[in-house]
Amino acid sequence: MINEKQKLIVEDAKYPCAVLAGPGTGKTFTIVQKIISLIKNDGISPNKILVTTFTKKAANELIERVESGLKKEKIFADTSNMLIGNFHSLALSFLKEYKSFTNKIFDPLVIDSHIEGYLIEKNMDIFENLPNFSKFISYNEVGQIQGIFANITNNLVDLDELRNSNNPRDILALEIYLAWANFLDENDLINYQLILKKFYDLLKDPFYGKKIRDRIDFVIIDEYQDTNTIQEEISFSLCKGKNLMVFGDDDQALYSFRGASPKNLRDFDKTCKMKMKRKANFYHIDINYRSNQEIIDKSRQFLVNSNAFDLEKIKNLKANDGEKNENSVVRARANEYENIEYIVKFLNKKINLNQIAFLFPSLNSDYPKSLQTYFENHGINVLNKSSKLFFKRREIRLCLYVLISIFSKKPKKLTGSNPDKYKWTQETNFKKYIVSIFDDKEFTKNEELNAYIKEEKLIIEENKSYTDILYKAFGLEIFREILDKKIDKLNSIRELSNIGKFTSILSDFTNLCGYDINYYKKSVDLIYGYIFYLFKNSAVSEFENFDAPKNSVIFSTIHQAKGLEYDVVFVSSLNDNPRKDMRAFSPKLEAAKESDFLKNYYRKYYTAFTRAKNLLVLLDNSKNSYIKNFAFSLNSSSILKTIDFKFKEDIVKKEILAYTTDISIYKSCPLKYKFIRVLDFKKEKSKSLEFGSKVHSLAEYLTNLKKENLSYHAINDFIKENKEFQKPIENFVNRNFPIKHSEMNIKLDRFSYILQGNIDIILEDGTIIDIKTGKADENNLISYKNQLLTYYNLLVYNNKKVNKMILYFIEEDKLIEVEKSDFDMKNIDEIGKNIVEKNIEIKTQDKKQCKFCPMAYFCKRT
């Protein structure tokens, strides 16, 4: 049921506006209802509503709920190309569509902060040669370089101001920024900051900015308190009028260390007056559907007693059921492990263990490690989302044993060589780690494993890729005993997903290096460069994309728990104390924000407390006097039987599934789907596959040029330098297709899942064309035809007319028309249902499907 304040926002809000939504107040529900109302009552097309969320996961949940909501209300609206995503995914989609803005024909490779850190470290000479570098940057060079680059881009620092500054730090910051931006551009790479900067530049361009704004009638920004300067600017630049609605809660602002500021939310009215010449409207939703009133009141009291906040601005939330149980908030002795064990096991009689979370400021302290060890020794499983343990795991040591035994030698010297003591220690620790793997008796005594390694070393000149060697090793018994496990228990989830992560590490490295590499020569850089960097920075986390099994409690950081809820929450603040955000490298790089470090500290624990639904337990081991005193103000015991705990039913989450990446793979083999899609086992692209991808990108680029009536001038220059692409380009241009739509993303709610497809081209007469590379043959035609028939049905079910269906093999310049035969949507639905229900342990009986499957050695189908 929608409450009155939500109803006002959904049906009668005046724009621009900010919705202040406290924890548990049904914010996502309100956003969904708002989107549906805009479509139903205001007649706005779904693809003219742009919504940003904090994460991709939140975006997918929003899409699913909007699709389901429209279906439930029997609203037949065209939901193709909906603009729902996080800032970065939306930015990338617009940059991809308007490539003519940059004249970059191929998409740059997106790199995360860890890959970027490795590349900076590897190319440190770029920076060391800059004037004053060693004078101002003498430690944590990688972190400082990344920080300088992020501050300049996130805060939209004027480069001319730095250039004209008398401060040598400003000059150095500018040189670092320009050097790294140039490196990324020359190597066709893009980091997260540049994604937003390039999108910002696109929006500021008079021609392209107007084109984008003309496509958008309404903008909704979620988690506005965690936006930074460039995200705020993008939010306003997306609007051509007043139709902007932001959602946020400054009491839950957690990301000041990334440059985000709740000031954006607090000053929303001021910004609207400046940028829109309009006064902002403010709305509040304050009925909490999550927590007992006692948890709500004590959480508020925590903020009030801190004296860091204006009393009248602290939200006064009310529990939906009005119930207040003084037993819902309690303190417990942190070091009395037996008592905590007793509480957890008592609760487990009433709820599943995964309804219990232990939240910490960090998982790297001794206390969570010690408590986890105690729990595991006493029969309580713990899902720990730390990134400290990845390289210590047996399954990762095993993967590394295979690679280092083939490509490397046991280090003779066990100490580092760097004169810097800290870096020397890091090098020494890694060498000792590598030696411990070489000397691991479980591995050295395994005859089958070492026979395989010996065999591969003899044929090393064949230049097999790292993943080829690892996937072949999956056929060995020592790997098979791991890979044979089902995804149902904590340890098996960890082992399987960690091996998947390791394949990603190898494929990421190869993709960075390119395809014409000597794997043996590059192995030193892989092991003592990239893997060493990940190792020393504890950069690989575990259980990232997996929910906790029923029989495991959750250990998480407070930041990781943002947006989540648990029946029972234990909070320990450990040695955490308020501390100022790190100063920027120079004053000109600072964001325009007040120093909020005290408030940020209290907000963090307010966010932690408000994750709890029925029971909040503060552990008494805080070193901070305020939190310590607050804990001691709470009851030291609780009558747990007075709390209405309930076992949480298993909820089968509705997923968004695509034909090519989901349905088709599952259809070929459910077990293959398990490894490739669920566990994310990766393999680098082959040279031919990369060429095909680039041809497809070229077709997309040409299509967008044609749609915008723009010149092919840039493509002519490209052909001169890349003759291998001349024929497919000429084939496509000479066809002169009358294009109406391109890259249309279309979705359909199918009860247990949402089916989606991405249609390459729709012609003016309703003909759909799917562009293919390579040659047409019997092996791929059946799958390609089924793909087109799926797209046909997606369009028909969405009330769109389809004329013909054509497969276009661009390299051969060959058109194959696909007949509108009877299409078994029930079969697709059955596959979708099986995917959602995780029926993924069945191996295909059709051995022809195994020919190109990377798991063929594991399945003994080679």
The structural domains of the chain, with segments of one domain joined by +, span 4-99+196-285, 109-187, 293-312+321-382+547-642, 390-536, 655-850
Q: Which helix (H) or strand (E) covers residue 247, if one does?
A: strand 244-248
- Provide the sign of the torsion angle of the four alpha carbons 425, 430, 431, 433, taken in this order: positive
The answer on whether 24 is annotated among ligand-binding residues is yes
- β 753-763/768-772 pair status: antiparallel
Give 708's pLDDT tier (boundaries 50, 70, 90). Answer: confident
Cis status, amide bond into 16, omega within 30 of 0: yes
Between CA 751 and CA 769 the distance in angstroms is 28
| Whether residue 854 has pLDDT greater than 80 | yes
Q: What is the pLDDT of residues 424-474, one digit of tens each?
A: 999 999 999 999 999 999 999 999 999 999 999 999 999 999 999 999 999
Angle formed at CA 532 by CA 146 and CA 527, multiple of 5 degrees: 125
Q: Which residue has the tokens 């990324």?
A: 184
Known binding residue 21? Answer is: yes
pLDDT at position 595 is 55
Q: Give pLDDT tens digits for 286-310.
A: 999 999 999 999 999 999 999 988 8
State the pLDDT confidence band at 592, using cuts at 50, 70 and 90: low
Give the DSSP letter string of 199-231: HHHHHHSHHHHHHHHHT-SEEEESSGGG--HHH
Fold of the 655-850 domain: Lambda Exonuclease; Chain A (3.90.320)
Give the CATH class of 293-312+321-382+547-642.
alpha beta
Please state, rounded to an integer, the average pLDDT across all residues of the chain.
Answer: 94
Which tokens in the block code for residue 134?
Answer: 């060693």
What pLDDT, on the 0 to 100 scale, is given for residue 591?
62
pLDDT tens, residue by residue, 504-523: 999 999 999 987 899 999 99
What are 76-100's pLDDT values in tens digits?
A: 898 999 999 999 999 999 999 999 8
Please give the distance of CA 771 from its chain centroid, rounded to a whole number. Answer: 29
Q: Nearest-5° angle of CA 360, CA 644, CA 607?
A: 25
- Reading the block at residue 349, the tokens are 């009689």
- pLDDT tens digits, 789-811: 999 999 998 989 999 999 999 99
Structure tokens at 175: 């040189």
Look up residue 456 and give its amino acid.
E
720 in a known ligand binding site: no
Q: For residue 730, how many other CB atoms are within 10 A of its CB?
A: 12
- 655-850 has the same fold as 4-99+196-285: no
Residue 510 marked in a binding site:
no
pTM: 0.94
Half-sphere exposure (Cβ direction) of 738: Cα atoms closer than 13 Å:
5
Q: Which is more confident, 862 or 485?
A: 485
Per DSSP, the three-state class of 321 is coil
Q: Does 28 carry a binding-site annotation? A: yes
Note the pLDDT tens digit of each residue in 339-352: 999 999 999 999 99
Give residue-wise pLDDT tens across range 164-189.
Answer: 999 999 999 999 999 999 999 999 99
Classify domain 4-99+196-285 by CATH number.
Answer: 3.40.50.300
**Is the pLDDT at 596 greater than 90, yes or no?**
no
CA distance 769 to 753: 25
503 is in an annotated binding site: no
Is 85 among the annotated ligand-binding positions?
no
Nearest one of 474, 855, 479, 846 to 677, comparing CA atoms? 855
Closest to 860 measured CA to CA, from 318, 407, 472, 584: 472
Give tens-digit pLDDT for 655-679. Answer: 999 999 999 999 999 999 999 999 9
Q: What is the pLDDT of residues 740-749, one digit of tens each?
A: 999 999 999 9
Instruction: Please indicate if the annotation marks 25 as binding a ligand.
Output: yes
Mean pLDDT, rounded, for 534-545: 93
Confidence of residue 593 (pLDDT cuts 50, 70, 90): low
Closest CA to 493 of 599, 382, 356: 382
List Cβ neighbours of 835 (8 Å cut-off, separation of 6 or more): 655, 657, 662, 663, 666, 673, 753
**pLDDT of 531 higher than 60:** yes
